[in-house]
Amino acid sequence: MGGTFTDVVAQDGDDLRVVKGLTTPDDQSLSAIDTAARLNEPFSAVRSIIHGTTVATNAILERKGARLGLISTAGFRDVLEFQRQDRGNIWNLFTRKVVPLAPRHLRYEVYERILADGSVHRPLDPESVRVAAQAMMAEGVEAVAVCLLNSYANPSHEARVEAMLAELMPSLYVATSFRTAPHFREYERMSTTAIAAYVGPKVKGYLSRFRGRFAEHGFGGDIYVMCSNGGVLPPESAGLHAAATCHSGPAGGVLATLRVARQKSLKNVVSFDMGGTSTDVCLISGGRANVSTRLRIEGLPITLPMFAIETVGAGGGSIVSVDEGGLLTVGPRSAGANPGPACYGGGGSQPTVTDALALIGLLRAETFFGGRMTLDTLAAEAAYASLARRIGDTPQGVAEKTFTISNAKLASTVRLVSVREGHDPRDYTLVAYGGAGPLHACSVAAELSIKHVVVPRFPGAFSAYGLLCADLKRDFVRTRLTRFSRLGDSELRQWLGELQAENEGEMQAIAGRRHPRWRFTVDLRYAGQASELAVPVPRLSQLKCDTLVRRFHGLHKAKFGFADPQAEIELVNLRLEGSVAGTGLASSSPAAGPATAPRPQSGWLALGGKQKCDFFDRADLPVGTELWGPTVIGESTATTFAPPNWKLTVDPYGNLDLVRV
């Protein structure tokens, strides 16, 4: 479910079918059922539904989550307000800290104190919990985040508060830090727990409606919800761990990119997902997608393992305007699905990137959206007319400038995820998808000196395709601040084994009769550092601390350009990933296609003057087809643009290989 379009990919054996529809922002379950119904298949025949949703992310971005309360240790309710001293932009003299999700008058304190070693310094005062509960009832609080000091070391007090709230306020949604983010760093732990509680009721209610709508239409199979770590969970688990569904939709695209990369034996790729509202970019190095536990959503830290996806407010629906300095800007405001770009004919009147593409000639009225949507180029021209007058240009001229500015903005995002992590983008392949991604991909690649672009099959529904590649997955963490030199192999092996034993029950409940696979990592850092690196652990029987130390030095050297083999290393967190293979198995069979050579239609583009261009329908391109830019390839879910000096080839799996020559 995107901000503009809803995508459905249905799999039956090796057969894949794709449909798209417009998203209903007020209740995404409506567009889900309407779009899926266009498959013309009885829902009673469907075995499972895998769902990627933006409900949690939108609740944070729009500040439309639950009325949130917070319970903290006495003296610590303002941790959400103090935050950190660092600033995103040190040159901004007027920077403001992000506004907490829980306002101060809804943050309550209870009397208790657990020390960093887990010992109880002051027992929990039950009366202070009852006073907080009464105050929350009076204030109409819908959800509460419970985050007590050092509860990661000893969760007994938080568990007691959770039980008391369940008795005193049974309808209240409760998120506790010992279940959501059981690690040290007080602000980040509290922020993550607050996010979980803030989006929890909305996600839980939405998933209930989603299941109900499909059940009403005869569906009786299993439902799974995509999470930001690249795995899926049943709706019941997703409702309890709602914060894990942030970035749910984009994670599917990263999984699909990994599958295409394996298919084509590509180790280093950048996933480039440009939709109607935003663009999501993720780096994949050595065949593994970057995962981070230090990301932010609208300025709010969230420490759950998530694909390290960088999002920029530049999509097909991004509104184009002139700023106070008279410069043309793109985004971050979007026309969304309603009213949408002017050329959609839905009442939109503000100029967008999609309108610019229509004016340039890259989008054609007769083939757009598989011919199911009209494309009003006159409305697009009217939308750009006022901008053109302000900057002294023609609507087509402003549209071309919009295309150039969009490409530069998108290229800077790719630089951010690659150069920032110590990687040269020239060593990577750009995998472009989303409704608008393939139109911009080659131009963005040229800005970065990237020579290879891949456009997969049905790119406009590629994130939905990625859901079929997902495993059931759940992440667990425990903080163990220890000097690594004091640890022996057997002691570390024991700690990791205990972490697995503690969480086997929950994982088995998710997995059912299937046996989970376990994967361990440890967070290490040089003593005194403020951040750490995740180091993969081999099988427990093969664990050697010396091996982990060598791996850490290598990772540190790769990311930061130096390593210090003489420095003391600290263990910070133990991490465990439990997974069960395959809720679905996306087809990887070779693409079928026509045997005859395609016939182009000729047209013109308003890029760098008037230039002739060939237009093809992707369905008419057989495997092995070779074309030279400028060429535009249309299909029902997206449009691909190969500029001059780019060669396009259809590979054996139906992907479009574009190479700059």
Residue at 589 is within a domain: no
pTM higher than the cut 0.85: yes
Between helices 395-418 and 353-360, what is the axis angle to 10°? 120
**What are the backbone dihedrals phi and psi of residue 223, each rounded to the nearest 5 degrees, phi first?**
-120, 135
User: Of the given ranges (301-305, 399-403, 512-516, 574-578), which has the lowest mean pLDDT?
Assistant: 512-516
Same-domain check for residues 531 and 636: no
pLDDT > 90? residue 349 = no
Question: Which pLDDT score is estimated for 195?
Answer: 97
What is the domain-level CATH number for residue 482? Answer: 3.30.1490
Residue at 308 is within a domain: no
Question: Which pLDDT score is estimated for 12?
Answer: 87
Helices (H), 169-306: 177-180, 186-216, 235-240, 248-263
Same-domain check for residues 259 and 137: no
Question: Which pLDDT score is estimated for 370?
Answer: 60
| Cβ-based burial of 601 (10 A; exposed 0-12, middle 13-18, buried ≥19) | middle
Domain holding 141, by residue range, is 44-246
Question: Which pLDDT score is estimated for 594?
Answer: 64
Give bridge partners of residue 73 from the DSSP assignment.
110
3-state secondary structure at position 118: coil
- Cα–Cα dist 132/159, whole Å: 16
pLDDT tens digit sequence for 624-659: 999 998 999 999 889 999 999 999 999 999 999 999
Give bridge partners of residue 50 from the DSSP assignment.
224
3-state secondary structure at position 100: coil
DSSP of 249-318:
HHHHHHHHHHHHHHHTT-SSEEEEEE-SS-EEEEEEETTEE-EES-EEETTEEE-S-EE-EEEES-STTE
User: Of the given ranges (34-38, 236-240, 363-367, 376-380), which has the lowest mean pLDDT?
Assistant: 363-367
**What are the backbone dihedrals phi and psi of residue 591, each rounded to the nearest 5 degrees, phi first?**
-75, 140
pLDDT > 80? residue 597 = no
When divided into structural domains, the chain yields a total of 4
User: Of the given ranges (106-115, 319-328, 535-544, 581-590), which has the lowest mean pLDDT?
Assistant: 581-590
Same-domain check for residues 112 and 238: yes
User: Of the given ranges (137-151, 193-207, 272-286), which has the lowest mean pLDDT?
Assistant: 272-286
- Cα–Cα dist 221/105, whole Å: 44
Same-domain check for residues 488 and 608: no
| Cβ-based burial of 563 (10 A; exposed 0-12, middle 13-18, buried ≥19) | middle
Q: Which two tokens stand for residue 315?
A: 């999509």
Percent of the chain with pLDDT over 90: 68
- Cα–Cα dist 659/454, whole Å: 9
Residue 630: asked if its preceding bond is cis (omega within 30°), the reply is yes
Residue 332: asked if its preceding bond is cis (omega within 30°), the reply is yes
Question: Which pLDDT score is estimated for 45?
Answer: 92
Residue at 20 is within a domain: no
Contact 465, 256 (CB under 8 A): yes
- Cα–Cα dist 112/132, whole Å: 14
**What are the backbone dihedrals phi and psi of residue 120, each rounded to the nearest 5 degrees, phi first?**
-90, 115
Question: Which pLDDT score is estimated for 585?
Answer: 59
Spatial CB neighbours of 137, under 8 Å, sequence gap ≥ 6:
169
Token pair 């700059």 is at which residue?
A: 660
3-state secondary structure at position 307: strand
Same-domain check for residues 200 and 256: no
pLDDT tens digit sequence for 45-103: 999 999 998 889 888 988 899 999 999 999 999 999 999 987 777 888 888 889 999 99
| Cβ-based burial of 85 (10 A; exposed 0-12, middle 13-18, buried ≥19) | exposed
Spatial CB neighbours of 458, under 8 Å, sequence gap ≥ 6:
9, 16, 18, 465, 635, 636, 637, 638
Same-domain check for residues 235 and 256: no
CB atoms within 10 A of CB 538: 12
Mean pLDDT of 183-194: 96
Mean pLDDT of 237-252: 89
Mean pLDDT of 540-555: 92
Question: Which pLDDT score is estimated for 77?
Answer: 94
- The residue type at 254: V
Nearest to 384 by CA among 396, 366, 372: 396
Same-domain check for residues 497 and 557: yes
Residue at 457 is within a domain: yes
Same-domain check for residues 49 and 169: yes
Angle at the Cα of 381 from the Cα atoms of 379 and 385, rounded to 5 degrees: 115
The winner for highest mean pLDDT among 60-64, 133-137, 245-249 is 133-137
Q: Which residue has the higher pLDDT, 3 or 139?
A: 139
Residue at 215 is within a domain: yes
- The residue type at 125: D
Query: What's the whole-number average pLDDT of the chain?
Result: 91
pLDDT tier at 255 (50, 70, 90 boundaries)?
Answer: very high
- Cα–Cα dist 20/371, whole Å: 12
Contact 407, 444 (CB under 8 A): yes
Residue at 264 is within a domain: yes
Parallel, antiparallel, or unpaired for β 318-322 and 328-334? antiparallel
pLDDT > 90? residue 453 = yes
Parallel, antiparallel, or unpaired for β 279-285 and 288-289? antiparallel
- Cα–Cα dist 196/179, whole Å: 10
Q: Which of 515, 550, 580 is the last residue of a domain?
A: 580
Burial state string for 142-153 with b = 16 or more CB within 10 A and e = fewer than 16: bbbbbbbbbbbb
3-state secondary structure at position 321: strand
pLDDT > 60? residue 546 = yes
Contact 145, 70 (CB under 8 A): yes
**What are the backbone dihedrals phi and psi of residue 229, each rounded to the nearest 5 degrees, phi first?**
-90, 5
Q: What sign has the CA pseudo-torsion 539, 544, 550, 556? A: positive
User: Of the given ranges (49-63, 228-242, 589-603, 604-618), which has the lowest mean pLDDT?
Assistant: 589-603
User: Of the given ranges (101-110, 551-560, 575-584), which has the lowest mean pLDDT?
Assistant: 575-584
3-state secondary structure at position 341: coil
Same-domain check for residues 567 and 644: no
pLDDT tens digit sequence for 468-524: 989 999 999 999 999 988 999 999 999 999 999 999 999 988 888 888 999 999 999
Residue at 12 is within a domain: no
Mean pLDDT of 418-429: 88
Same-domain check for residues 174 and 195: yes
Contact 375, 365 (CB under 8 A): yes
pLDDT tier at 170 (50, 70, 90 boundaries)?
Answer: very high
Nearest to 74 by CA among 102, 111, 107, 105: 111
Between helices 126-139 and 156-168, what is the axis angle to 10°? 50
Mean pLDDT of 263-267: 94
pLDDT tier at 419 (50, 70, 90 boundaries)?
Answer: confident
N- to C-terminal Cα distance for the chain? 37
Question: Which pLDDT score is estimated for 172?
Answer: 95
Helices (H), 457-488: 462-467
pLDDT > 70? residue 593 = no
Residue at 71 is within a domain: yes
Same-domain check for residues 446 and 523: no
pLDDT > 80? residue 233 = yes
pLDDT tier at 337 (50, 70, 90 boundaries)?
Answer: low
- Cα–Cα dist 247/105, whole Å: 30
Q: Which two tokens stand for residue 144?
A: 């509460």
Same-domain check for residues 461 and 481: no
Nearest to 484 by CA among 572, 550, 556: 572
